[in-house]
């Protein structure tokens, strides 16, 4: 299959410009009269036809069929041989066409075939040059100087072909790398979106489970307390009063659970508060739930992007939630600092701990790890039954992923 090269979207438009410049130079060379040169109209017409065909072939390059590529290249070589052998004055610049041939071969072949085309082009160039010089009558001294000049020219031309080959390989490799990078970035964006959607779904499921387990249980118990108090209201008012007090406590707990669930569903946890203020709010929740006032050491000397702020908040929130539910700790320590290159977070408790080999696949821990990795950070957790738990997070400030968005 052959694909036309359109000027407007050609990735290497300067190559087309280079070809047109060389063709224009060749045409001018053919038109400018030289008294010492034989002008044959037949040769001139043949040259113009060959030049036209060679130029038009550059507008349609074969891309897929390997046999078509070989036929295409052989046809180019034949046209160059015709121009160099019968081109009259245009034959003086036949070497330029080998450069164009090498450039085109780089656009249609892989590296081994490019090397073959470059080698064949240089061999044909040497044969043509030798054949042209062998017919020039010169004295022995002049011939020696003449041959020395053309040997030097042949070496320079060979180096030029090698330079063109290397340059095209570099350009094509860079373009290939950019295309692969664009594809990888697109896949990464799709993957990040899937992860975000999955995380959102999991978060909603987790909140739904918490509402069902905590609020549902509290409301059921509240309903039973009220029913019992209603039955005892006339026969035993004092005992009914006791049930009403218990119902009041259950109502307060249910209201607290609702507020916690609503707070967790909020789109942006830092919308109206700084990170330090939000952390203080989390520590107050821990104090209300466990009676423990976490020890906080916060030292933020450098500005933190909102993406990192949100991730840090969510990690601390999830850590404190796990501590309140499972840790049975008596002390909790939080350290948050910034350096010139990173944000460092450490959360440690002296609770009952857990076995890392059995409890590292839960949604909470996986969510904290995913948030850290999405920002190209490092997440570490160390725990052992009876020895508490320590979580360490290190997120770089300058190499964060710009596409990361966590709520």
pLDDT tens digits, 310-336: 889 989 988 988 888 888 899 999 999
Asked if 114 and 106 touch (Cβ cutoff 8 Å), the reply is: yes
Q: Which of 135, 155, 170 is at the close of a domain?
A: 135
Does residue 249 contact residue 283 with C-beta atoms inside 8 Å? no
In a domain, 239, yes or no: no
Highest mean pLDDT, choosing among 32-46, 261-275, 318-332: 318-332
Residues in a beta bridge with 61: 3
192 occurs within a structural domain: no
Contact partners, residue 253, CB within 8 Å, separation at least 6: 218
- The pLDDT value recorded for residue 349 is 95
Residue 340's CATH number: 3.30.565.10
Asked if residue 344 is part of any domain, the answer here is yes
Q: Is the pLDDT at 116 greater than 80, yes or no?
A: yes
Tell me what pLDDT residue 36 has: 46
Query: Rounded to whole angstroms, how far apart are CA atoms 233 and 230?
Result: 5
From 252, 228, 227, 247, select the one nearest 239 (Cα to Cα).
228
Beta strands in 190-300 (DSSP E): 295-299
pLDDT value of position 347? 96
Q: Residue 405 falls within a domain, yes or no?
A: yes
Q: Out of 172-176, 280-284, 313-317, 363-367, pick the least confident.
A: 363-367
- Average pLDDT over the chain reads 79
- Residue 285 backbone phi and psi in degrees, to 5: -65, -40
CA 47 to chain centre: 50
Does the structure show a pLDDT above 50 at 106?
yes
pLDDT computed for residue 346 by the predictor: 97
Residue for token pair 């007090």: 245
More confident residue, 245 or 279: 279
Torsion of CA 355, 357, 363, 365, to 10 degrees: 70
- pLDDT bin (cut points 50, 70, 90) of residue 246 is confident
Return the ∠ at Cα 384 (arms to 382 and 387), rounded to 5°: 100
As a whole number of angstroms, the distance between CA 155 and CA 158 comes to: 5
Q: What is the pLDDT of residues 192-209, one digit of tens each?
A: 878 877 877 777 776 776
Q: Could you give the angle at the alpha carbon of 81 between the alpha carbons of 80 and 83, nearest 5°?
A: 65
Which structural domain range is residue 123 located in? 2-135
In a domain, residue 315? The reply is yes
Query: Of 100, 119, 135, which residue constitutes the final position of a domain?
Result: 135
Give the pTM. Answer: 0.45
Looking at residue 306, its pLDDT comes to 85
- Put residue 256 in one of left, alpha, beta given phi > 0 → left and psi -120 to 50 → alpha: alpha
Instruction: Look at residue 16 in the predicted model and tell me its pLDDT.
Output: 72
d(CA 144, CA 129): 15
Q: In this structure, how many other beta carbons lie within 10 angstroms of the beta carbon of residue 55?
A: 17
On whether residue 81 sits in a domain, the answer given is yes
Q: How far is CA 302 from CA 193, 305, 343, 375, in A?
A: 29, 10, 9, 17
pLDDT value, residue 380: 94
pLDDT mean over 108-136: 84
User: Range with the lowest mean pLDDT among 7-11, 16-20, 192-196?
Assistant: 7-11
Per-residue confidence band for 38, with pLDDT thresholds at 50, 70 and 90: very low
Number of domain units in the chain: 2
- Better pLDDT: 312 or 39: 312
- Sequence-ordered alpha helix ranges (H) in 329-362: none
Place of tokens 């031309």: 157
Specify the pLDDT at position 162: 92
- Asked whether residue 233 is assigned to any structural domain, the reply reads no
Does 4 score more than 50 pLDDT?
no
Q: With 0-12 CB in 10 A as exposed, 13-18 as middle and 19+ as buried, what is 253? A: middle
CA dihedral 181, 304, 277, 282 (to 10 degrees): 40
Strand ranges for 44-151 from DSSP E: 60-62
Domain contains 180: no
Q: Which residue has the tokens 């249609």?
A: 108
- Which residues are CB-contacts of 117 (< 8 A; sequence separation ≥ 6)? 73, 101, 102, 105, 109
Of the residues 91, 107, 135, which one is the last residue of a structural domain? 135
- What beta strand segments (E) does 137-294 contain? none
Mean pLDDT over 279-289 rounds to 85
């Amino acid at each position: 299959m052959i694909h036309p090269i359109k000027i407007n979207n050609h990735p290497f438009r300067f190559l087309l410009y280079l070809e047109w410049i060389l063709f224009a130079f060749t045409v001018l060379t053919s038109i400018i009269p030289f008294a010492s040169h034989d002008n044959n109209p037949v040769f001139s017409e043949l040259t113009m036809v060959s030049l036209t065909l060679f130029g038009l072939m550059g507008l349609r390059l074969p891309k897929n069929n390997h046999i078509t590529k070989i036929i295409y290249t052989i046809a180019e070589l034949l046209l160059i041989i015709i121009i160099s052998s019968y081109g009259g004055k245009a034959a003086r610049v036949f070497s330029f066409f080998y450069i164009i041939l090498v450039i085109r071969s780089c656009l249609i072949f892989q590296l081994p075939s490019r090397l073959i085309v470059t080698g064949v082009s240089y061999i044909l160039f040497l044969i043509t040059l030798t054949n042209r010089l062998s017919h020039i009558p010169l004295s022995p001294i002049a011939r020696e100087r003449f041959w020395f000049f053309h040997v030097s020219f042949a070496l320079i031309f060979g180096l030029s072909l090698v330079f063109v080959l290397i340059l095209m390989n570099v350009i094509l490799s860079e373009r290939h790398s950019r295309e692969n990078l664009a594809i990888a970035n697109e896949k990464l964006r799709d993957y990040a979106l899937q992860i975000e959607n999955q995380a959102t779904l999991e978060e909603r499921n987790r909140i739904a489970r918490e509402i069902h387990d905590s609020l549902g249980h509290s409301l059921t118990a509240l309903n039973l307390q009220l029913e019992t108090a209603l039955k005892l209201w006339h026969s035993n008012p004092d005992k009914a009063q006791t049930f009403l007090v218990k119902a009041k406590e259950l109502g307060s707990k249910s209201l607290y659970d609702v507020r916690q669930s609503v707070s967790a569903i909020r789109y942006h946890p830092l919308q109206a508060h700084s990170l330090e203020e939000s952390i203080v709010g989390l520590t107050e929740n821990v104090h209300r739930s466990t009676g423990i006032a976490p020890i906080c050491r916060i030292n933020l000397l450098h500005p933190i992007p909102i993406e990192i702020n949100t991730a840090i908040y969510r990690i601390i929130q999830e850590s404190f939630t796990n501590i309140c539910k499972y840790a049975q700790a008596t002390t909790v320590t939080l350290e948050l600092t910034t350096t010139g290159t990173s944000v460092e977070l450490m959360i440690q408790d002296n609770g009952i701990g857990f076995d890392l080999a059995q409890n590292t696949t839960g949604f909470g821990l996986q969510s904290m790890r995913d948030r850290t990795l999405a920002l190209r950070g490092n997440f570490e957790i160390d725990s052992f039954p009876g020895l508490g738990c320590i979580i360490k997070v290190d997120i770089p400030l300058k190499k964060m992923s710009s596409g990361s968005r966590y709520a």
